[in-house]
Structure 1
Amino acid sequence: MNATSAAVAAALTFTWCGMVLGISFLEAPLKFRAPGVTVPVGLGIGRIVFRVLNRIEAVLAAGVVAAVAAGGPPVAVAVPTAVAAATLAAQLLAIRPGLNRRSDRVLAGEELLRSRAHHVYVATESVKVLALLALGAAALHTLAA
């Protein structure tokens, strides 16, 4: 993999990973612990934050895929790139729509039990973070080689 592609891929990857860690694993769970934040208020904030995060993720993913594709990647770079991109696609196309429909119902005043789809989303976020860490490390390794 050429040095420019590896450097761009690493920078975009670690930016993407940091955003996911900061939002999904810090902001999202902590906002519900703040005084006065009700479930509907937290859901409303979360929907806005995740909508923006997902748009930024899509841009970063496109940049990562383009940088990796342009660089003639080794398998150690190509596989985690595919896993991260596919995981994001699954979240956006399969998981988030259901979560959005459910949050619409909660925001409309329905009392619902906890959703298993939320746990699936958290699991896919974990897979995505691990893929991004592997990708970033592999991209940096190609720079050092």
Structure 2
Amino acid sequence: MHAASAVAVAVIFVWVGMVVAISFLEAPLKFRAPGVTLQIGLGIGRLVFRALNASESALAAVLMASFAVEPPSTSTGIAAGAAVVTLLAQLFVVRPSLARRSEVTLAGGEAPRSPAHWVYVGLEVVKLVALLVTGVLLLGT
């Protein structure tokens, strides 16, 4: 395995770990902690997801750079592309809606129900599957 491929594998599995730890463990569990109100949970969530998304963006950039050095197979490129496009959809399509809704709630208002949260979760599942497929394909080359 070349250095660029090793970097790509490391990036993918670090990214997988971050998504699983934050999106599927921390996010749902924080609201079950004693004393955590909706406003506190949203405030924490906004900070955590802003940091996660910034880290994911950096990881995606490193992944693309490693692919520029050593181009992946077509199937690996498609799987990685699906993960990156999913991240971009989360950042630029879904997160703005979630941010507007959480701003209302944090200000003490009552925000109407929105499917945006479930869309984000669905995209997290798609992204996680795409990342796992990418990692497995990279390990197989």
TM band (smaller chain): over 0.9
Q: How far 1:112 moved relative to its partner?
A: 2.8
Indicate the residue corresponding to 2:126 in structure 1: 127
Indicate the residue corresponding to 1:108 in structure 2: 107
Give yes or no for the alignment of 1:118 onto 2:111. Answer: no
Equivalences for 1:1-145 in 2 at 5 Å?
A: 3-142=2-141
TM-score (normalizing by structure 2): 0.96
Counterpart of 2:120, as a letter, is Y
For residues 65 and 72 of structure 1, the distance between their equivalents in structure 2, rounded to whole angstroms, comes to 9
**For structure 1, which segment, 44-53 or 105-114, has the greater mean C-alpha deviation from structure 2 after superposition?**
105-114
For residues 103 and 24 of structure 2, the distance between their equivalents in structure 1, rounded to whole angstroms, comes to 23
**For structure 1, which segment, 78-87 or 67-76, has the greater mean C-alpha deviation from structure 2 after superposition?**
67-76
Counterpart of 1:91, as a letter, is Q
Q: How far 1:57 moved relative to its partner?
A: 0.5
SS in structure 2 of the partner of residue 104 of structure 1:
helix
Checking the alignment, whether the CA contact within 8 Å between 1:88 and 1:128 is kept in structure 2 is yes
Residue by residue, what CA displacement relative to the aligned partner does 1:35-93 show, whole Å, maximum 9, x if unpaired? 00000000000000000111000000001111123212111210111101100111111
SS in structure 2 of the partner of residue 36 of structure 1:
coil
Counterpart of 1:141, as a letter, is G
Checking the alignment, whether the CA contact within 8 Å between 1:68 and 1:77 is kept in structure 2 is no
Counterpart of 1:87, as a letter, is T
Report percent identity of matched pairs.
53
Runs of 4+ off more than 4 Å: none
For residues 68 and 127 of structure 1, the distance between their equivalents in structure 2, rounded to whole angstroms, comes to 21
Provide structure 1 residue ranges, at least 5 long, that are not aligned to the other structure.
none
Q: How far 1:8 moved relative to its partner?
A: 0.9
Provide structure 2 residue ranges, at least 5 long, that are not aligned to the other structure.
none
TM-score (normalizing by structure 1): 0.93
**For structure 1, which segment, 19-28 or 5-14, has the greater mean C-alpha deviation from structure 2 after superposition?**
5-14
* Matched length: 141
For residues 113 and 19 of structure 1, the distance between their equivalents in structure 2, rounded to whole angstroms, comes to 30
Considering only aligned residues, what root-mean-square deviation do their CA atoms show, in Å? 1.0
